[in-house]
Amino acid sequence: MTIQEWLNNDQLGIDIWEKKYRYNNESLDEWFDRVSGGNPEIRRLIVEKKFLFGGRTLSNRGTNRGSMSNCYSHGYIEDSLDGIMDAAKNIAMTYKAQGGQGLSLSKIRPKGASIAGKFKSDGIVPFMEIFNTVTESVSQGGSRKGALLMSLDINHPEAETFMTIKSDLNKINKANLSMEIDDDFMNRVISGDSEANRLFNILCTQACKYAEPGVIYTNRFRNYNLMEFVDSYQIETCNPCGEQPLAKHSACNLSSINLSLVLPVTLSIFAYKLSKLPYLTNKLIAVFSPIPLTPGILSDGSPANAL
């Protein structure tokens, strides 16, 4: 089979495959073997276009040149200079390995807060600018620009600054921004609390004008998920695109199922069978990671420390 036959002469798809996912001039059959890890059942599903791994797995599986996970979570940034600078290094190393990062600024003290009883904090904005500059400066393995999401609790004293910072199109233009909103805040909005309504109106206005910030409804986000009964899996933020809630120092493993080919076969049965394939449940055990991952709390529950 040729790539033209597999993609039905879709030139855009062919160009993407050749520029993004083909390694060292490999043939299509060699590519199938590489990305499936030699697993015949996985290979068949990919050939039949019923299943496909995320981009980093397609690009890097079996090459030792980068991460097989698309994105990572740093979680809460520690409220210390060491913690902030460690985060900057971690996101840079993640971009180098072709991954993206999500992080929360909610624990960082606001502008004007005391530091050691002698100084005043400059707040979150200078550190947002540092993370933005790192994202702008470090490409993802030389193949694409870095991907970053920064989130902030709407109860943080600098929430308004965070929400409106992109009104200046020259500021923080290399990161997605999202507000962390809990049920208590939304109940205050519904009950007519003036400050809550003021902030919510700013949020809606900015989202309408600039398409940001997004919203993370934290009660649902952190408490209603497949890992909610695992006490060690405490969700803090998400990946840059926002589709995967993540614990601190964990990774999201993206894949896709072609529903048009799976249905009318019962999807739940297909997904169950897919989950039982060894390569899927263990695909991160031997994968390179750009940053230390918390053992045992990858987004699929797979071990993260056997690198």
| Residue 127, φ and ψ in degrees, nearest 5 | -80, -30
243 is catalytic: yes
Give the HSE-up count for residue 65: Cα atoms under 13 Å, Cβ half-sphere: 16
175's CB contacts (< 8 A; 6+ apart) are: 128, 131, 132, 135, 148, 149, 150
| Residue 249, φ and ψ in degrees, nearest 5 | 55, 50
* Long-range contacts of residues 218-224, Cβ cutoff 8 Å, at least 24 apart: 218/180, 218/181, 218/182, 219/182, 219/183, 221/245
- Pick the catalytic residue from 241, 253, 258, 282: 241
Burial of residue 207 (CB within 10 Å: 0-12, 13-18, 19+) is middle
- Pick the catalytic residue from 195, 243, 258, 305: 243
| Among the listed residues 175, 166, 174, 301, the one whose alpha carbon sits nearest the alpha carbon of residue 229 | 301
60 is catalytic: no
- Pick the catalytic residue from 132, 239, 252, 253: 239
Residues 106, 153 contacting (CB under 8 angstroms): yes
18 is catalytic: no
Burial of residue 223 (CB within 10 Å: 0-12, 13-18, 19+) is exposed
* 3-class DSSP assignment, residue 103: strand
Tell me which residues are annotated as active site: 239, 241, 243
